[in-house]
């Protein structure tokens, strides 16, 4: 699965932000929700673990200064190459597990806020990674994990939905792992209603493979899957609810 994940992000890197061009409203909404949860204050040290191109930290940037730049941390150099030049952002080439274990050094010994958006399912030791990241928090610091639940309402073909569910952690388990580290933990679900052109969505699935699970299917399997999607969804506009678990732990102090 790790090879599939690496291929996924290398494939997406050149136009990762373009994959969201059909849903500027979603990007704005997610950035706003992240900012509301993390409550970053001027001078806070912030790390976005698995941040890719930095697309989902825009809501934090007004509270970040060049003196304490936000760290956009990602294992894909190609993704980091797409991060816009901004003195308030500093890129770090590393993965979540390397940061958690201390194998990768960060410019800050401690941080006030850590974001892990839709990448926690890629690590092999989720509980250990959450524990390690919690140790990087300053007193009162916040660790926010945003994750999809295993069962999606997406208009995907069934085999993709099943394979995604088999590899996705339960949000309650993420919350349990946070509590085990001593963090004061909150779990809440947030929803966004999506409306997207069917043909555009099918291109995202079959050609862009915009979800990492899609890289585990052959081209023939994807063709069969998108044919299934067309049969199940004859409507020109696909409508569904995107539901995210926001799991946040706050360090004592």
The per-residue DSSP string of 199-239 comes to: HHHHHIIIII--SGGGGGS-HHHHHHHHHHHHHH--SSEEE
Name the band, by pLDDT with cuts 50, 70 and 90, for residue 7. Answer: low
The region of weakest confidence among 69-73, 188-192, 206-210 is 206-210
In this structure, what token pair is assigned to residue 154? Answer: 């997406």
CA dihedral 143, 26, 73, 66 (to 10 degrees): -90
Name the band, by pLDDT with cuts 50, 70 and 90, for residue 1. Answer: very low
Residue 134 has pLDDT above 80, yes or no: yes
pLDDT, tens digit, for every residue of 210-247? 888 998 999 999 999 999 999 999 999 999 999 999 99
In a domain? residue 58? yes
Residue 81 has pLDDT above 70, yes or no: yes
In a domain? residue 220? no
Q: 28: how many CB neighbours lie within 10 A of its CB?
A: 12
Name the band, by pLDDT with cuts 50, 70 and 90, for residue 178. Answer: very high
For residue 9, the enclosing domain spans 2-193+243-250
Predicted pLDDT of residue 202: 95
Residue 15 has pLDDT above 90, yes or no: no
Domain count, the chain: 1
In a domain? residue 202? no
Predicted pLDDT of residue 46: 98
Predicted pLDDT of residue 2: 53
Query: Which of helix, strand or coil describes residue 198?
Result: helix
Q: Residue 171 in contact with residue 177, Cβ under 8 Å?
A: no
CA distances to 131, 153, 174 from 194, in Å: 34, 11, 26
Predicted pLDDT of residue 24: 84
C-alpha–C-alpha distance, residues 101 and 105, integer Å: 10
In a domain? residue 147? yes
The one-character DSSP state at 25 is H
Over residues 28-56, the mean pLDDT reads: 95
Query: For the domain that residue 117 is a member of, what is the CATH number?
Result: 3.40.50.150
In a domain? residue 175? yes
């Amino acid at each position: 699965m790790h090879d599939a994940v690496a291929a996924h992000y290398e494939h997406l890197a050149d136009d990762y932000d373009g994959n969201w061009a059909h849903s500027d409203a979603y990007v704005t909404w997610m950035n706003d929700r992240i900012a509301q949860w993390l409550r970053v204050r001027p001078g806070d040290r912030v790390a976005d673990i698995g941040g890719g191109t930095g697309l989902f930290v825009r809501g934090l940037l007004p509270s970040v200064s060049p003196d304490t730049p936000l760290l956009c941390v990602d294992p894909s150099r190609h993704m980091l190459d797409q991060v816009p030049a901004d003195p308030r952002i500093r890129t770090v080439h590393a993965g979540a597990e390397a940061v958690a274990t201390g194998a990768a050094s960060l410019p800050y010994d401690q941080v006030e806020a850590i974001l892990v958006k839709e990448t926690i399912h890629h690590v092999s030791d989720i509980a250990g990674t959450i524990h390690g990241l919690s140790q990087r928090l300053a007193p009162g610091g916040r660790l926010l994990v945003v994750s999809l639940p295993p069962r999606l309402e997406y208009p995907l073909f069934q085999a993709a939905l099943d394979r995604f569910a088999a590899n996705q952690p339960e949000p309650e388990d993420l919350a349990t792992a946070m509590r085990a580290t001593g963090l004061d933990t909150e779990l809440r679900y947030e929803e966004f209603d999506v409306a997207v052109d069917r043909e555009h969505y099918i291109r995202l699935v079959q050609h862009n493979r915009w979800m990492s699970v899609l890289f585990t299917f052959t081209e023939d399997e994807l063709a069969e899957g998108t044919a299934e999607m067309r049969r199940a969804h004859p409507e020109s506009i696909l409508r569904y609810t995107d539901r995210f678990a926001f799991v946040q732990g706050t360090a004592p102090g």
